[in-house]
Amino acid sequence: MSATVSVTVNGTKYDVQDVEPRLLLSDFLRDMLGLTGTHVGCEHGVCGACTVLVNGDSVRSCLMLAIQANGAEITTVEGLGTPETLNVLQAQFREHHGLQCGFCTPGMLMTGEDLLRKYPLATDDEIREGLSGNLCRCTGYQNIVAAIRAAAGKRAETVP
């Protein structure tokens, strides 16, 4: 049993044939589309490294079947900015040294994007609560929180 999956990822439309129902969205993005920016850590929804946006909402791509993403619009870390033009959140991660080994970073960024859209993030407690589903094994949380705090501040400046 296999199916065709049609998705738009970072603005590009893909039609992929012969997708097995059991293929996880995380493996689909990495192995079939070659988008290896999405990292796979625990593969059971605990670490948050594989977080992507599906129709604008952050989801764990290891807890969704590729076949369920048929017709969806997906944004991965590759879709945020480019090395030359980082987006606001990425720029703050660089400014505040919000990463150490970098493994958790794609998930932190995609979660941060969703948090910035959905919550006021007025306090560090709120930011930490929002990040509680993303693990950094380097324990570099202080600077990640600082980066998101700064990005929330930039957002407050630009939103009228």
- Which residues of the chain form contacts with another protein (CB under 8 A)? 1, 3, 20-22, 24, 27, 43-45, 48, 51, 57-60, 62-65, 67-68, 111, 114-115, 118, 128-130, 132-134
Q: How far is the CB of 118 from another protein (least distance, A)?
A: 7
Measured CA to CA, the distance from residue 24 to residue 45 in angstroms comes to: 12
Distance CA 122, CA 136 (A): 22
Please state the closest distance from residue 45 (CB atom) to another protein, in A. Answer: 5
Instruction: Give, as one character, the DSSP assignment of residue 65.
Output: B
Residue 123 CA to residue 131 CA, distance in Å, equals 13
The CA–CA distances, whole Å, from 33 to 82, 124, 158 equal 18, 36, 34
Given the complex with another protein, which of 21 and 153 has the nearer CB atom?
21
Helix (H, G, I), strand (E, B) or coil at 97: coil
Nearer to another protein, 67 or 145 (CB): 67
Q: Which is closer to another protein, CB of 53 or CB of 88?
A: 53
Considering the complex, state which of residue 51 and residue 92 has its C-beta at the smaller distance from another protein. Answer: 51
Q: Residue 10 CB, nearest distance to another protein (Å)?
A: 18
DSSP type of residue 30: I
